[in-house]
């Protein structure tokens, strides 16, 4: 949004020329995501506490976890708010890569939110049954795969995927198999973060590291010079994913302020599925699932 509003003024005020640089906007997205997390976090936590939205601890779990019973959950809302605000402010909002990544993040976060809502608000102990949750994740992933087949984002064959450390080797999928592969990547990434979310600060910290790694790849693959030099495909427009990935990392780091031991809030499935979905979607868009 800031790019569309301020960069056109660069002809009259040269200072606004900085908005053309992805590195500048990525830095802005990081700072914005952190600040939004710090401001919104206490408000969300107080609202969750008033609503008695507390974590349910399984009896068969470790005894050390039982003292965490009642800690507010669904804190992933904090990260979703930070991601959306910082991305809309600093990314090119018309860029298809941004629209897809942000849409998938909200969709996966919505699945997690519904699961959390059933468990801690409506007190349905099972929430969404595992197969139901996985089914919705697969539907979201297959939809993304079909869209990428029908609306290619670059001149490169959409079914060709990168193999790390090999410049000329790639995986090629049959078109009707590709959507299933995309779905498995997105669902697998989401559930990987979900399973990691067992210790205070673990899932958020690891997700921030992964998001920053993909931010580097997005920046490299979005430039003609660096992508050619490193033997990576050039994906016009993919550089904007740098801004998105950094916003994801910033929101996760900001959430760590409240989630580091002893945690004041848990991200719940709302946060874990959103983070995993974001990382998985960026991996798919960058053809870098094997990373």
Tell whether 290 is covered by a domain: no
Residue 21 lies in a domain: yes
Q: How many domains does the chain have?
A: 1
Query: What backbone phi and psi angles, to 5 degrees, belong to 68?
Result: -90, -5
- Report if residue 267 sits inside a domain: yes
176 part of a folded domain: yes
Q: For 252-283, write each residue's pLDDT tens digit.
A: 999 999 998 888 899 999 999 999 999 999 99
The model's pTM is 0.92
Tokens representing residue 290 in the block:
């094997």
291, part of any domain:
no
What is the pLDDT, as a whole number, of residue 66? Answer: 46
pLDDT tens figures, 168-189? 778 888 888 999 999 999 999 9
Tens-place pLDDT, residues 91-132: 999 999 999 999 999 999 999 999 999 888 887 767 788 899
Range of 89's domain? 2-285
Tell me what pLDDT residue 59 has.
45
């Amino acid at each position: 949004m800031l790019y569309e509003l301020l960069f056109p003024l660069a002809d009259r005020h040269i200072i606004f020329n900085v908005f053309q640089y992805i590195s500048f906007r990525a830095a802005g997205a990081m700072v914005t995501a952190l600040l939004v997390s710090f401001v919104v976090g206490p408000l969300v936590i107080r609202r969750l506490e008033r609503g008695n939205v507390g974590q349910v601890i399984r009896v068969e779990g470790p005894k050390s976890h039982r003292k965490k019973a009642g800690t507010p959950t669904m804190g992933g809302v904090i990260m979703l708010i930070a991601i959306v605000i910082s991305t809309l402010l600093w990314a090119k909002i018309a860029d298809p890569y941004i629209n897809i990544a942000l849409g998938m993040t909200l969709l996966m976060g919505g699945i997690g939110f519904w699961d959390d809502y059933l468990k801690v608000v409506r007190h349905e102990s099972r929430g969404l049954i595992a197969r139901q949750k996985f089914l919705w994740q697969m539907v979201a992933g297959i939809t993304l795969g079909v869209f990428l087949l029908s609306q290619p984002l670059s001149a490169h064959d959409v079914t060709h995927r990168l193999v790390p450390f090999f410049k000329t080797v790639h995986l090629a999928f049959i078109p009707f198999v590709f959507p299933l592969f995309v779905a498995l990547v997105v669902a697998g990434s989401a559930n990987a973060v979900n399973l990691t979310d067992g210790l205070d600060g673990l899932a958020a910290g690891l997700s921030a590291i992964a998001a920053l790694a993909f931010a580097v790849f997005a920046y490299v693959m979005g430039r003609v010079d660096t992508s050619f030099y490193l033997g990576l495909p050039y994906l016009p427009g993919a550089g904007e994913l740098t801004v998105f990935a950094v916003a994801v990392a910033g929101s996760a780091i900001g959430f760590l302020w409240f989630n580091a031991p002893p945690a004041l809030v848990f991200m719940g499935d709302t946060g874990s599925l959103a983070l995993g979905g974001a990382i998985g979607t960026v991996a798919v868009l960058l053809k870098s699932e094997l990373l």
